[in-house]
Amino acid sequence: MDLNAAQQKVNELRDLLNQYGHEYYVLDKPTVPDAEYDRLMRELMDLEEKFPELKSADSPTVRIGGTVLDMFEKVVHEIPLLSLGNAFNEQDLRDFDRRIRQVVGEDYSYVCELKIDGLAVSLRYENGLFVQGSTRGDGTIGEDITSNLRTIKSLPLRLRENVSIEVRGEAFMPKRSFEALNKVKEERGEEPFANPRNAAAGSLRQLDPKIAATRNLDVFLYGIGDVGESGVVSHSEGLDYLDHLGFKTNKERRKCANVDAVIEFVNSWVERRPNLPYEIDGIVIKVDSLAQQSDLGTTAKSPRWAIAFKFPAEEVVTTLLAIELNVGRTGVVTPTAVLAPVKVAGSTVQRASLHNEDLIREKDIKIGDKVVVKKAGDIIPEVVNVIAEQRTGEEVDFQMPTHCPECESELVRLEGEVALRCINPKCPAQIREGLIHFVSRDAMNIEGLGEKVISQLFSEKLIKDVADIYKLTSEQLLGLERMGEKSVSNLITAIEASKSNSLEKLLFGLGIRHVGAKAAKTLAQVFGTMDKLAEATEDELKSINEIGDKMADSIAAFFTKEEAQELLKELVIAGVNMEYKGPMPISVEQSDSFFAGKTVVLTGKLERLTRGEAKDRIESLGGNVAGSVSKKTDLVIAGEDAGSKLTKAEQLGIEVWDEDKLLEELEK
């Protein structure tokens, strides 16, 4: 391929990737599966490597992270990024409204927006190209975090118009990304982030952009630094203009004619906010007219035309009854607080992770203490602090053990880690947790073989590794408590059925360190069989998009272990499938199927397909299978005993199919 042909192909690939990325990350309306996007990205990366002169600052490939920085440069904000004054109750909002009315009279309106709990950022574009991104800093001087911001897939690298503009927004970490990140950090024995806001800020202040690229951050734009000659005369028009340019704005906003409508909007979100996929800590209220904003002016610290209503943090007091120790499948020993049951943010909390010994010492936590509990990011129960003045003298200091509570091996603290870890590969707790992981829904999905049954089988010495699951007999199972003939028959059938699972299920179930469900599917699609994956070199693994150095090292190390090789041989003898059986990524030519670009929800029990099979079939044809019904849902497939999802679909007027109609369309 000569340079001209390469340039044409590169332009074509960039246009496609930018289109698909905008549909997925901004519009939440994907039109192709992840695997097709990844294939196009790999093709573009290969071309840019062969023809370095074709690389550009707006190429989608820059989102994977660039070179490591020595330090952050300072950025002076030409228009200061002011902070907002706060309101904490209805009277504060009415006082704010009275001050507005005194200056601008009776003819005005407000725009209410969700206050995203993240990190304020400024983005600068020249002739439509993203050239610089920075933090708020002190409002006048921030830090240049351009390389890290480029990794956010919803942030456009080139606008739809060649305008020069500076815009403001909030970078944040979605709740799902926050949970996944903290899970990984705890498995590695590292200190978890306290909340999504800290996680987002920590991610954007990494000197290595490749770290930020793995954190799955997002951004909402909420304002324009200087509207210039855009013709925009109101804040609401400005948000629409940002949409037009290709930015992602938050659609949960409302124009309010008066303060009563503002208060109604605020109150509606006090109860609804836990249902959002991201964290908010309040509502921002702004005067809509830019001319009136100018008349109102600013103080040294904040604009007079805007205010932030802050939600009260829900914290409750309970008693810490005990501290239990749990050994995970990677050997990390995690202390867990056992609490007197208490309701926090809508749910009853009885346990809270204490993460590690350092945190217990830092917060001076004793068994028997009265403690303040909240949900970090409204998700994870957390002990905020103890109420020392309520101590009776009967509280007991907690001492972390020096040896594993399961196998008595000496615990170690690896270099750079804050957690204690059991490094005995034969530790019963690690083996048991690995078995539980193997049979879980996202892995081999053996129905009826849950945590309690696995623990029982393990304690009875009927299984010692995952291969033993396939050697279980009806006679052995019937000898267990609460295992009747029907349940045993169903379990044997489920175990047998799991042998035919596609390769990615087995790969994920094996618990190879750093290999999640998505990476397992990518590996299965690329290599096709377990044998080919086992033979892959580290360089071959690292060449695959999404497979980083640590994961490649871990995979290669796994297949060199003698015990892993022996385990795989036993699984082969047992008849467990070692090949990828799922659909291959859809090609662009196939994307005109009925399901392409549609969001589909499955509910109820299907007779001829499992839920997973239906999901794979729909996604292979370009559809996106979601877990809940919303206004964005295009189609609901309802099986037997469909419940609230079907009801909601009918209320929203969403098209509903039965299984017969689904199969008819799939067969086309």
Q: What is the pLDDT of residues 47-81, one digit of tens each?
A: 988 898 888 888 888 777 666 556 788 888 888 88
CA within 13 Å, CB half, 131? 12
Whether 172 and 118 have beta carbons less than 8 Å apart is answered as yes
Q: How confident is the model at residue 587 (pLDDT cuts 50, 70, 90)?
A: very low
Residue 408 counted as domain residue: no
Neighbours of 474 (CB within 10 A): 13
Question: Does residue 181 share a domain with residue 289?
Answer: yes
Residue 435 counted as domain residue: no
Dist. CA 180–CA 442, nearest whole Å? 14
* Model pLDDT, residue 345: 61
644, exposed or middle or buried, with CB in 10 Å at 0-12, 13-18, 19+?
exposed
* Model pLDDT, residue 70: 62
Whether 326 and 334 have beta carbons less than 8 Å apart is answered as yes
Helix (H) or strand (E) holding 604: none
> Phi and psi at residue 158, in whole multiples of 5°?
-140, 135
Mean pLDDT, range 240-249, rounded to an integer: 95
More confident residue, 622 or 469: 469
Q: How confident is the model at residue 591 (pLDDT cuts 50, 70, 90)?
A: low
Whether 508 and 466 have beta carbons less than 8 Å apart is answered as no
Whether 633 and 618 have beta carbons less than 8 Å apart is answered as no
CATH number for position 345:
2.40.50.140
CA angle 236/242/245 to nearest 5° reads: 145
Question: Does residue 142 share a domain with residue 235?
Answer: yes
341-355, 396-410, 487-501: least confident range = 341-355
Assess whether pLDDT exceeds 50 at residue 589: no
Token pair of 234 as six digits: 């109101």
Q: Where are the beta strands (DSSP E) in 37-144?
A: 74-76, 85-87, 110-116, 119-126, 129-135, 141-143
Question: Does residue 129 share a domain with residue 37?
Answer: no
Assess whether pLDDT exceeds 90 at residue 643: no
Indicate the SS3 state at residue 112.
Answer: strand
pLDDT averaged over the chain?
Answer: 88
Annotation says 115 is catalytic: yes
> What does the DSSP assignment read for 605-642?
B-SSS-HHHHHHHHHHTT-EEESS--TT--EEEE-BT-
Q: Tokens 């109860």 belong to which residue?
A: 271
Whether 377 and 175 have beta carbons less than 8 Å apart is answered as yes
Residue 638 counted as domain residue: yes
Question: Does residue 334 share a domain with residue 304?
Answer: no
Q: Which amino acid is at 223?
A: G
Whether 633 and 608 have beta carbons less than 8 Å apart is answered as no
Question: Does residue 244 share a domain with residue 135?
Answer: yes
Assess whether pLDDT exceeds 70 at residue 45: yes
Q: Tokens 């992270």 belong to which residue?
A: 65
Containing structural domain, residue 367:
316-398
DSSP 51: -
Question: Does residue 23 share a domain with residue 50?
Answer: yes
Residue 470 counted as domain residue: no
Last residue of a domain, one of 55, 75, 93: 55
Residue 258 counted as domain residue: yes
Dist. CA 645–CA 292, nearest whole Å? 45
* Model pLDDT, residue 283: 96
Q: Which amino acid is at 43?
A: E
If you count them, how many residues does the chain have?
668
Most confident of the ranges 298-302, 340-344, 418-422, 454-458: 454-458
pLDDT tens for 364-419 read 999 999 999 987 545 578 898 999 999 999 999 999 999 999 899 999 987 777 78
Dist. CA 128–CA 156, nearest whole Å? 10
* Model pLDDT, residue 121: 95
* Model pLDDT, residue 312: 72
Question: Does residue 324 share a domain with residue 302?
Answer: no
Question: Does residue 174 share a domain with residue 269?
Answer: yes
pLDDT tens for 430-450 read 999 999 999 998 899 998 898
As for how many domains the chain has, the answer is: 4
Q: With CA atoms as reference, report the closest residue to 144 among 216, 215, 85, 66.
A: 66
Last residue of a domain, one of 310, 345, 366: 310
CATH number for position 39:
1.10.287.610
Dist. CA 534–CA 73, nearest whole Å? 45
Dist. CA 477–CA 499, nearest whole Å? 19
Q: Are strands 129-135 and 306-310 parallel, antiparallel or unpaired?
A: unpaired
* Model pLDDT, residue 379: 58
Q: How far is CA 56 from CA 37, 211, 502, in A?
A: 19, 21, 39
CATH number for position 640:
3.40.50.10190
Residue 265 counted as domain residue: yes
Residue 199 counted as domain residue: yes
Q: Where are the beta strands (DSSP E) in 246-395?
A: 254-256, 280-287, 306-310, 316-327, 332-344, 347-353, 366-367, 370-376, 380-386
> What does the DSSP assignment read for 529-548?
BHHHHHH--HHHHHTSTT--
Neighbours of 403 (CB within 10 A): 12
Catalytic residue among 9, 74, 115, 175: 115
78, exposed or middle or buried, with CB in 10 Å at 0-12, 13-18, 19+?
exposed
Question: Does residue 18 share a domain with residue 110?
Answer: no
C-alpha torsion sign, points 545, 559, 183, 582:
positive
Question: Does residue 133 share a domain with residue 280?
Answer: yes
Question: Does residue 179 share a domain with residue 323?
Answer: no
Whether 371 and 317 have beta carbons less than 8 Å apart is answered as yes
Residue 486 counted as domain residue: no
Q: With CA atoms as reference, report the closest residue to 42 among 498, 526, 492.
A: 526
Question: Does residue 330 share a domain with residue 182?
Answer: no
Last residue of a domain, one of 310, 335, 367: 310
Q: Which amino acid is at 621?
A: L
Q: Which long-range contacts (CB under 8 A, 24 or more apart) does 41-47 make?
A: 41/17, 41/545, 42/544, 42/545, 43/13, 44/10, 44/13, 44/14, 44/17, 45/545, 47/6, 47/9, 47/10, 47/13
- Does the global pTM surpass 0.75? no
- First-last CA distance in the chain: 37
More confident residue, 387 or 18: 387
Dist. CA 259–CA 98, nearest whole Å? 9
- Give Dmax over CA atoms of the chain in angstroms: 84
Q: With CA atoms as reference, report the closest residue to 136 among 189, 201, 213.
A: 201
Q: How confident is the model at residue 594 (pLDDT cuts 50, 70, 90)?
A: confident
Token pair of 504 as six digits: 């990615």
Assess whether pLDDT exceeds 90 at residue 109: yes
Dist. CA 445–CA 443, nearest whole Å? 5
Token pair of 218 as six digits: 């997002």
Whether 493 and 477 have beta carbons less than 8 Å apart is answered as no
DSSP 450: -
Neighbours of 546 (CB within 10 A): 17
